[in-house]
Structure 1
Amino acid sequence: MKGKEKMNKSILETSDAWLLLAIIYASSNEPADLSKIIGAGDYINHAIFTLRELKGGIARLSNHEYIKDHGELKFSATDKILMPYNDFSKKKRRVSAELEFVRKTIGANVYKLGTNQLNENME
């Protein structure tokens, strides 16, 4: 059973933490559409998500129950991440500190320079 459960839970990537923080920012008042999520992601990382990061990240974060799909490409963060994030963010912090907190909280892999991370994650 443990092997089957492991197959169902894919490994989270650093970009998943970035996407999750963007969803937290974009959906603070209501479920956020992709344009708001992409805008929040640009604010956080000064970059735009690739299609692979969006599609894969949404699937992985949903699978791990960190985000909720509201249909019509609208998403929000779940209490699974919002509870620890809200405790952490009570004190004003830099965006980079919030991103690192989310990465550690969800257990996302760290990018390793000079390696093919995708292949390492497939093992």
Structure 2
Amino acid sequence: MTFMTLAAKKNSNEITVTEISDIADINRKTFYVYYKGANGIINEIEDDIIKEFVCIINKQDIIKIILEPNLMFNIFTEIINKDINFFTLLINSSLIDTMFEKIKNVIREVLSSL
């Protein structure tokens, strides 16, 4: 959440490990035990969201969703409402563009496999 709070205030590529460590009240060395850098957090956030998205898509009748797209929007709404604070920060961050691009690619892959 520390990273997302920073990303909502400034461009994600301007966020430093020092800032994250200071706000999260951890040592920089501790940070590097888990991540190679700030981009590691970005990748983890994106991967987690994409995994959840793919899991949900795989449980759906894709043809039905193509015919009734509102079903997928209802599913997205449920996901967002589970963690509204996180998604509010995500939408207000510079990460949202790459996230939409990745989601779009996942949808293309699913549809191309039909």
- If the length of structure 2 is used for normalisation, what is the TM-score? 0.32
Structure of higher CA gyration radius: 2
If each structure's helix is expressed as a fraction of its own residues, which one has the higher value?
2
> Which one has more relative contact order, counting CA pairs under 8 Å at least 6 apart?
2
Higher strand fraction (1 or 2): 1
